[in-house]
Amino acid sequence: MDVHGSVHALYVFRGAAELLGGLLLTVRRTALLGALVSFGVLANIVMLNFCYDVPVKLYSAHLLLMAFFLIVPDVRRLVDVFVLNRRTEPVPVRPFFRRAWLRHGTAVLRTLIVLAYVGYLLNDAAEVNRTFTKRDPKSPLRGIWSVDEFVVDGQARPPLVTDTDRWRRVVFDVPITMAVQLMSDSRVRYNLVQGQGVLKLGKRDDPKWKTQLAWRQPKPDLLEIEGPLDGHKVLVKLHREKVPKFLLTTRGFHWINERPFNR
């Protein structure tokens, strides 16, 4: 889950701040500044992870503790400068090597390694972004579909909240995923390979689980899905819901608000 993902500018800003802190940490002269930047950014991320139950709490908390560990040796100097308004002496940066060519050579090597790794990470992030956030507006299935009829082995199952395995909605958003909302409001996500009239489904946590369902559209806003699922034959009839409009993504940007907008 990414609570910033709905606002692209904020998503990019946070990523740039994380990258800046990491780059500053690669140079000894700017390592303290990098630790301070990273600590501020990570403190925000850790709080978001804990408050929104994002499942990377321990990992982000460990990174925050690492940043704090790098700051601890300079706490007295920071207090002298920012709290007590005292003069503080700079920390001497002693070279690792006496020979100039070794110092310059290792600096160049470090820079090349850092640039190569940053390039790799940026390319990997771009690939993940293309895979998991791309949308296909031309896909006939894209949207939110409400289940009108749910038939299992020839037996119709009415929409009862006590029938926790019955489908309530099906969502096609990211091309590689089909999400099913059950009557219990829990969600089941399937890996999806969509073909002409065919849905090939799998489960991320069970690589051996696979099935293939047939789909057809009697009308553009009607959908039928049929085939084997967990040892049963299912027939699902659905209709497309109107896409909801959320204030978070539709209100836009305002330099000045004439009155509070607390909703």
């920071």: which residue's tokens?
Answer: 78
Q: Encode pLDDT of 174-218 as tens digits.
A: 888 999 999 998 999 999 998 889 999 999 889 899 999 999 999
Q: Which amino acid does the sequence have at 208? A: K
Q: Encode pLDDT of 25-56 as tens digits.
A: 999 999 999 999 999 999 999 999 999 998 89
Residue 6 has pLDDT above 60, yes or no: no
**What's the pLDDT at 136?**
59
Q: Which residue has the higher pLDDT, 173 or 44?
A: 44
- What does the alpha-carbon distance between residue 91 and residue 154 come to, in Å, rounded to a whole number? 78
- What are residue 222's phi and psi, to 5 degrees? -120, 145
Six token digits for residue 119: 């390039």
Q: Which residue, 138, 166, 149, 135, is CA-closest to 222?
A: 149
| Residue extents of the structural domains in the chain | 8-133, 143-240
CATH of domain 143-240: 2.40.128.20
Q: Which residue, 222, 186, 182, 215, is CA-closest to 200?
A: 215
Confidence bin at 137 (pLDDT 50/70/90): low
0.95 exceeded by pTM: no
